[in-house]
């Protein structure tokens, strides 16, 4: 009780009123219909996978920005689907993904289901001519990538990926400061992830390990920042594992490029962080140095100048990422393909213990 209250108070400070309210509502799933739907002609969004992220992040951000446009949803868990439909006042949820995709009212579909299903749903959406936002990871196998990538390339402007780091205010400001800066970069990322119980679905072998579930975010951010000077033609990957039984957590990844860039990612999950995942970044390129503390503060130096930024609410880039289908500011799809292939390559290395 006291822990729950303390967490809510902390979340109010970190995420603000609305996100905290949706987070609590998404966890409890007890509230009746809350968000009034918009007029029928602007209700055009479907959701596949009605879990916590769809409810508390996608639901909150879309409804706060554009009003409630949800018109259909599905989830194999009756509880998840019915409570999502009740809260967002979806009168007759499709129940299965095929029906949501075939629903003529759904012009844009958010896929926020289990990892192994993302690319299958995305392919079905694109084949049906829909626009689709795919939560991370967009694939968990090379076979899925081979099927999705050609379709996604042909559907440019209709497909969006949920990797949010590059959309954060901090990373966008570093990008602006680095314009015109030459030379290799150094990027150090430290991720203190959730402590997942043994039976958590992220651990199911077909879901692609925590490399697909969590570390993929950081590989994608690394590719995005490396791409400021052009995507490198080769990357040397070195892994260190602390625990031979659970190689996808408490591990580090080092990436070195032929032009001298160095990226390190440390993933630690030794206890549950009370305020959620905690992420730190240190960056240097030329005379630009940045230190980001959990996307809540950043100190930035360039030559003799120094800036201090505070992000309230915490800005990991979720809002800008989720709004891509509306804002027209979407990621370069080629970066997403490269980061996905790198993630799958690292996943294979982790599985093999290389």
Ligand X SMILES: NC(=O)c1ccc[n+]([C@@H]2O[C@H](COP(=O)([O-])OP(=O)(O)OC[C@H]3O[C@@H](n4cnc5c(N)ncnc54)[C@H](O)[C@@H]3O)[C@@H](O)[C@H]2O)c1
Contact set with ligand X (CB under 6 A): 48-54, 75-77, 80, 97, 112-115, 117, 135-136, 162, 164, 213
- Cis check for the bond before 313: say yes or no (omega within 30 of 0): yes
| Helix (H) or strand (E) segment spanning residue 240 | strand 235-241
Residue number with CB closer to ligand X (112 or 132): 112
Residue 77 or 238: the one with the smaller Cβ distance to ligand X is 77
Identify each DSSP E strand in 1-69 by its residue range: 45-48
CA dist 283 → 6, 60, 117, 311 (Å): 33, 31, 34, 18
Min CB(257)–ligand X separation in Å = 26
Give the nearest distance from C-beta 227 to ligand X in angstroms.
Answer: 20
Residue 49 or 166: the one with the smaller Cβ distance to ligand X is 49
**Min. distance of Cβ 50 from ligand X in angstroms?**
5
What residue is closest to ligand X based on CB?
Answer: 51
Query: Minimum distance from CB of 22 to ligand X (Å)?
Result: 12
Question: In this complex, which beta carbon is closest to ligand X, that of residue 261 or of residue 279?
Answer: 279
> What is the spatial distance between Cα 303 and Cα 289, in angstroms, rounded to a whole number?
9
Distance (Å, whole) CA 307 – CA 170: 11
Instruction: Give the list of residues 6+ apart from residue 278 with CB closer than 8 angstroms, or none.
Output: 191, 192, 294
Closest CA to 13 of 316, 314, 274, 298: 314
* CB 60 to ligand X: min, Å: 13
Q: How far is Cα 174 from Cα 288, in angstroms, rounded to an integer? A: 8
* Between 37 and 208, CB nearer to ligand X: 208
Residue 191 forms beta bridges with which residues? 267, 279
Q: Which is nearer to ligand X, 161 or 178 (CB)?
A: 161
């Amino acid at each position: 009780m006291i822990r729950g209250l303390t967490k809510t108070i902390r979340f109010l400070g970190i995420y603000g009123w609305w996100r905290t309210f949706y987070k609590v509502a998404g966890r409890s799933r007890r509230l009746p219909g809350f968000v009034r739907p918009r007029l029928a002609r602007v209700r055009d969004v479907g959701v596949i996978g009605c879990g916590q992220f769809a409810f508390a992040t996608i639901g909150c951000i879309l409804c706060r920005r554009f009003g409630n446009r949800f018109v259909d949803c599905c989830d194999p868990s009756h509880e998840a689907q019915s409570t999502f439909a009740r809260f967002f006042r979806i009168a007759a949820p499709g129940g299965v993904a095929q029906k949501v995709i075939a629903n003529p009212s759904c012009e844009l579909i958010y896929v926020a289901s289990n990892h192994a299903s993302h690319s299958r749903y995305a392919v079905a959406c694109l084949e049906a001519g829909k626009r689709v936002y795919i939560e991370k990871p967009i694939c968990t196998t090379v076979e899925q990538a081979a099927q999705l990538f050609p379709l996604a390339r042909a559907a440019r402007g209709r497909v969006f990926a949920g990797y949010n780091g590059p959309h954060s205010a901090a990373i966008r400001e570093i990008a602006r400061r680095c314009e015109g800066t030459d030379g290799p970069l150094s990027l150090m990322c430290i991720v203190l992830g959730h402590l997942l119980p043994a039976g958590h679905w992220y651990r199911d072998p077909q879901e692609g390990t925590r490399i697909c579930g969590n570390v993929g975010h950081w590989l994608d951010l690394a590719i995005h920042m490396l791409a400021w000077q052009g995507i490198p033609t080769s990357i040397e990957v070195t892994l260190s594992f602390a625990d031979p039984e659970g190689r996808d957590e408490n591990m580090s990844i080092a990436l070195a490029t032929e032009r001298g860039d160095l990226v390190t990612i440390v993933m630690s999950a030794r206890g549950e962080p009370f305020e959620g995942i905690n992420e730190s970044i240190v960056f240097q390129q030329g005379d630009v140095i940045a230190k980001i503390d959990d996307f809540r503060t950043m100190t930035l130096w360039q030559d003799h100048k120094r800036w201090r930024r505070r992000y309230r609410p915490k800005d990991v880039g979720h809002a800008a990422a989720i709004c891509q289908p509306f804002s027209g500011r979407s990621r370069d799809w080629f970066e997403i393909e490269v980061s996905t292939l790198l993630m799958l390559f690292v996943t294979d290395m982790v599985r093999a213990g290389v």
